[in-house]
Amino acid sequence: MLLFIDSANIQEIREAHALGVISGVTTNPSLIAKEGRNFQQVVKEIVSLVDGPISAEVVSLESGGMVEEARELAKIHPNIVIKIPITPEGLKATHILRHDNIKVNMTLIFSTNQALLAARAGAAFVSPFVGRLDDVSHDGMHLIEEMVAVFKNYYLSTKIIAASIRHPIHVSQAALAGADIATVPFKVLMQMVKHPLTDAGIAKFLADWESVKNK
């Protein structure tokens, strides 16, 4: 399973990228708003840092506007992937953009049927939101399992991005379920590195080393 970082914060993206574990970046309008900076400028900085799919989301609600925004964003860099919410208008836009060779990440996916529609319309990626389903007492990870099975049954090449990841267990569960990618907030990425036994092991090795280093 590949790991993307779910962030629009340049410092976080830089630090995550330096670890050598990040293959792409996802943003959304809320993450961009948190930075309080110009959208296009942020996206330009991200593509200069990470060489992989970089998702940038449209805000129009009708297909014409989505396509127009998508074409503008796609001019920034060939790695730009256009995030479009799953609606009838979003599907129409995805269908049009597929013929322009502009990749779409269909977002706000909460059911297997939505994912199937997105794949059939030509989305390169789908983003099921695991954490937001858990928030409303649905099993978010079950959705990933279903989608993996359906995409496998019909040889669909659309990549499944486990999104709305809230903690490290979500990441390992998504990997076990067969998601292609998990997009992970910086905080969760750092939590994935940590283990108390690793810290204790380092402390013990250093303490033992202290006792013999001058002998």
CB of 187 to ligand E4P, least distance (A): 11
Q: Between β-strands 2-6 and 159-162, what pairing exists: parallel, antiparallel or unpaired?
A: unpaired
Torsions phi, psi for 196 (to 5 deg): -60, -30
Distance CA 25, CA 13 (A): 8
Identity of the residue, 102 or 162, whose beta carbon is nearer to ligand E4P in the bound complex: 162
Distance CA 98, CA 96 (A): 5
Alpha-carbon dihedral sign for residues 90, 106, 39, 97: negative
CB of 176 to ligand E4P, least distance (A): 19
Identity of the residue, 134 or 201, whose beta carbon is nearer to ligand E4P in the bound complex: 134
Q: Can you read off the two tokens belonging to residue 101?
A: 């060779």
Q: Can you read off the two tokens belonging to residue 181?
A: 């990618």
**DSSP symbol at 185:** -
Q: Can you read off the two tokens belonging to residue 205?
A: 């090795």
Q: Which residues bind ligand E4P (CB under 6 A)?
A: 6, 26, 28, 107, 127, 129, 131-132, 163-164, 183
Residue 92 annotated as catalytic:
no
Residues paired with residue 109 on neighbouring β-strands, in sequence order: 128
Identity of the residue, 6 or 89, whose beta carbon is nearer to ligand E4P in the bound complex: 6
Distance CA 151, CA 170 (A): 20
CB of 108 to ligand E4P, least distance (A): 9
In order, the DSSP letters of 5-71 are: EE---HHHHHHHHHTT---EEE--HHHHHHHTS-HHHHHHHHHHH--S-EEEE---SSHHHHHHHHH
CB of 115 to ligand E4P, least distance (A): 14
Catalytic-role residue among 44, 83, 187, 194: 83
CB of 6 to ligand E4P, least distance (A): 5
Identity of the residue, 172 or 214, whose beta carbon is nearer to ligand E4P in the bound complex: 172
Identity of the residue, 63 or 107, whose beta carbon is nearer to ligand E4P in the bound complex: 107
Query: Which positions are annotated as active-site residues?
Result: 83
